[in-house]
Amino acid sequence: MNMKKIMIVLAVVVAALLVWYGESRKFFCVENGKCITLWKTFNNVCYIIPGKYYGLTRPSTNFLESTNTNNIMVFFSSGLPNAFVYKSEQPLKINNDDKRGFGFYDYNADEKRFDSLLYIPNARTVQDVKGDVQYLDISIHENYATDKNGRRM
């Protein structure tokens, strides 16, 4: 009886360590309280989810799917209250089934529109954003982000 309990406990500990090792979840928040969940999983799959996501299974709607080696910038603007604009080095899979919940906009799809929404006139660097704009520059592989003030999270 005791050997059976020991084996069960050992199996649970090993399973927990495998899940912890294989999956990593971080929350990145900007000054205005908007957050992103970065969930790196097995098989080089990363989910970028608006808000703080605590679910145990893959989200069902409103997320971006990337690789664990991508770099992505996410911009929040008061001009798009329930959405964010993103720039990605690699192609993303977009699941935006519930457009009422949250929207995703690819910066490269309409650069002129997003330049006027996000940047001050005559902007020269990525830091030249308007006052109401917050952004996260996320290195998925390194598992960190920097905000518009250069602060590492």
CA dihedral (144, 97, 104, 94) positive or negative:
positive
The pLDDT of residue 89 is 94
Residue 19's pLDDT is 63
Cβ of 41: how many Cβ atoms within 10 Å?
16
The residue ranges of every structural domain in the chain are 22-146
Per-residue pLDDT, 108? 93
Tell me, what's the pLDDT at 3?
A: 83
Q: Report the distance separating Cα 59 and Cα 32, nearest Å.
A: 24
pLDDT at res. 14: 78
Which positions of the chain have pLDDT values less than 70? 17-23, 98-99
Q: What is the pLDDT of residue 93?
A: 93
- What is the model's pLDDT at position 91? 93
For residue 122, give the DSSP letter.
Answer: T
Q: Can you tell me whether residue 15 is helix, strand or coil?
A: helix
